Amino acid sequence: MVEEARERETKFSDQIRDWRNTATDKFLGLFPRRTAEHLVNAQKEGLLAVRSLLDRGIEILDGDLKRVNDRPPRH
């Protein structure tokens, strides 16, 4: 039963990925190759910027957790 659900999930994920790739290829096909490359790189840079913000947020939370664990216990 679990295996069957995992198989359906994988098939659905594959279908979504195929649809996304087809739509992306059609959209990028509207532009000259260099323009399409710039569009993809701009998207990648945007995601990398968000990742760096998330990484910094995680670092801050790790610091908060360390301070919580370092404080003396309450009685």
d(C-alpha 1, C-alpha 10), whole Å: 14
What pLDDT, on the 0 to 100 scale, is given for residue 75?
A: 75
Taking only the tens of pLDDT, the chain with its 75 residues reads: 888 888 888 999 999 999 999 999 999 999 999 999 999 999 999 999 999 999 999 999 999 999 999 999 887
What pLDDT, on the 0 to 100 scale, is given for residue 47?
A: 98
d(C-alpha 52, C-alpha 71), whole Å: 29
Indicate the SS3 state at residue 29: coil
